[in-house]
Amino acid sequence: MIKIMSLKIGVIGAGGMLQYHGAGFLQAGAEVAAVADMNLAAAEAAAAQWGGGKAFASVEEMLEKGDIDAVSVIVPNKFHAPLAIQCLDAGKHVFCEKPPALNASEVELMIAAAEKSGKRLMFNFNNRARPESQAMMGYVRDGSVGTINSAQAQWVRRTGIPGFGGWFTTKELSGGGPVIDLLHMIDLALYFMGYPEPAHMLAQTFDDFITNKDFKGPWGIPDRADGVTDVEAAAHGFVTFKTGQVLSLRNSWAEMIERETVSVVFQGTKAGGKVERLFNVDGFDETAVDTCELYVQEQGQSVDRTIKTLPCEDMGRIASAANFVQAVEGTAEPLNSPHEALVLMKIIDGLYQSAETGAPVSF
For residues 323 and 335, what is the distance between their CA atoms, to the nearest angstrom? 7
**C-beta of residue 76 within 8 angstroms of C-beta of residue 97:** no
Q: Are 296 and 307 in contact (CB under 8 A)?
A: no
3-state secondary structure of 212: coil
Q: Please state, in angstroms and rounded to a whole number, the distance separating the CA atoms of residues 266 and 294.
A: 10
Domains of the chain listed by start with CATH number: 8-126 (3.40.50.720), 127-313+337-362 (3.30.360.10)
Q: Give pLDDT < 70 ranges for the chain.
A: 1-5
Q: In the β-sheet with 31-36, what is the strand arrangement from edge to edge?
A: 54-56, 31-36, 8-12, 70-73, 93-96, 121-123
Q: Read off the pLDDT of residues 188-230 as tens digits, 9 standing for 90 and up.
A: 999 999 999 999 999 999 999 999 999 999 888 999 999 999 9
Which whole-number Å values give the CA distances from 288 to 117, 238, 259, 269, 278, in the listed order?
Answer: 41, 27, 11, 30, 5
CA atoms of 359 and 196, how far apart (whole Å): 22
| Tens-digit pLDDT profile for residues 37-92 | 999 999 999 999 999 999 999 999 999 999 999 999 999 999 999 999 999 999 99
Q: Which residues are bridge partners to 303 per DSSP? A: 296
Q: Are 90 and 69 in contact (CB under 8 A)?
A: no
Q: CA-CA distance, 228 to 244, in Å (whole number)?
A: 40
Contact residues for 268 (Cβ-Cβ < 8 A; gap 6+) = 145, 146, 147, 148, 149
Per-residue pLDDT, 2: 44
CA distances, 208 to each of 93, 121, 224 (Å): 41, 37, 20
